[in-house]
Structure 1
């Protein structure tokens, strides 16, 4: 069967289940706009000048051969006041993506909430606020954008906002982790419900970070850490009952049986489970309290994808992967990881997507905590490198990895 044209592919239903491996890229879109002493706001689109170069960036993604783009809406800018939406820029992006035949997997929530939402995820109205925003997006762009991620990496959110107190609302410990995860999961359920209420043809791509650990010197019991990485899916899919491995952990931190019953009564199922995996730092080892990255290569990738398929029986996609360092190392990982995915597919594992993320240079989140310039926190992991000129403009420079990705996608078609 011949591959559909780009413009036809945008509106083809059930593209995730057509038997092919689909290639995409993603633009880093972390938004943590809240500031406080010692913590600057983060808006990756501003730091990388995507707001100025968005048209070029989308065009480059299409030129690279990407069928889809993971791209996020800056909720805090679109809804500056509760219930008042400014779609002017988003309308332009939607139109350009359609003209390119580039499918957008809309990243509705990539960490940050609007500035007016007091206590962020702990606000009692958060689940309904995020669902209302998602409904507005899905309704306005139905037929142009029909693929959605309700919330990117809930486990990272729970860690940064609830366990380690790095991002607002700055909770800490296991009690904080549980409180944030419960709020996020409820928002994810309500988001999916509201999207499908206004666009029944919409497809849901859940996305969470992969977590792996080596060694026995862990801060929590291994079983707890291994089960926590699946909790957002287990909650939203209504799988947490009194027999669940984390039932006692949750109730011990204040979760009621009524809350768990709500999830079972409102269970939602994604179309695809997205796994974010980085060979150089998804796997870690704890040494004297320090977290040290461990190189895991394709073994870690195979492990995480297989675990998710075995647990849920749903199609999976690699929704983020890349490698920092030299362009040569990026090309090597691209070839190794794609070959591993093809091997898994040949063995019958339903892997339907491969996403190089980020598409271009990002600014390390540590930028938030000092006064260095964005350039001093650049991490070059993309197919395109950012290079600041004397006019302060960040030029987009295609690398050898861009050319290789282009060749891989062409062969895959």
Structure 2
């Protein structure tokens, strides 16, 4: 569980640096709002990562084993790229910064492929709730560091120094990889690259309601994706809070609430089951967006901002824990890396592609109406979830794999 926690941290660190922190960097250097909205497209590798996931499932690095070798390689490249981006400024070389950020996202997505596979393979089915909570905790702690702490430090040291420091923090992932042990696979890896590319998708799509599950994965956190795409800009420009206030409140306090929500979600899942958890947590994470609508209407009220951020992140953490448990439950152990990459790529569609539309929506409607619509955008996911109740409950009730089928890949 500690390794799962630290690897979750390693996964979350690059995402924060290519999302809200990058958005804040462009914001304080007076880049226009539409361009900032398009920065969300830097996250496209998270959507397309299933295209190269078969290589991760099939190719075994020469050192440390199948999963650990891939993790170490991607982490070393990420450290080099974070050092590189610290050498430039968006106001002088905006395209260069964006391209390096895109490269960071690509390597981060590749790291996610292998970390997700590692977590899915090493956790027994009955450990998924706790494992999901640990993964979310590590992930959110990384976001606190790469977003909250980064903004606070940027107020005094500048963003270039912050990105250089984050390259050093990425060493946590290297330590976790060297400390971890190679998991035991339920089945042997695919016999050929062709099989690694085709069989995982063929097997998943042959299941009942496969297309509807993919639709659920896209829609479940769509409302959150819209709300979160411009939250940092809303607090900085829309309400006029300082970088330090946003760093402490929206990132550190808010993401701490997410961690509490993740643990609470993991505990409640054990009692409620996966379907009921997804339903109630999904409803909560949708309705709490109304707090930001109220904040936009009232104006820069610090107490209300803290309350809105804490409650929204608490509900979001609960929803994320249930969502990760759902993804793990849908993976065939023979194709863990590729199928988890496919599912998590679909989950990233909203986070990546709503950014440009969100920017135009704010220009058109204003902040108050924008946050109202984020609640409306969350409803289709809950409807699809309700339609899939029987399939999810059936999947959740499956027993652990037969231990006689386990084989050590070594």
Q: TM-score range by the shorter chain?
A: under 0.3
More helix by share: 2
Instruction: Between the two structures, name the one with larger relative contact order (CA 8 Å, sep ≥ 6).
Output: 2
TM-score normalised by L of structure 1: 0.25
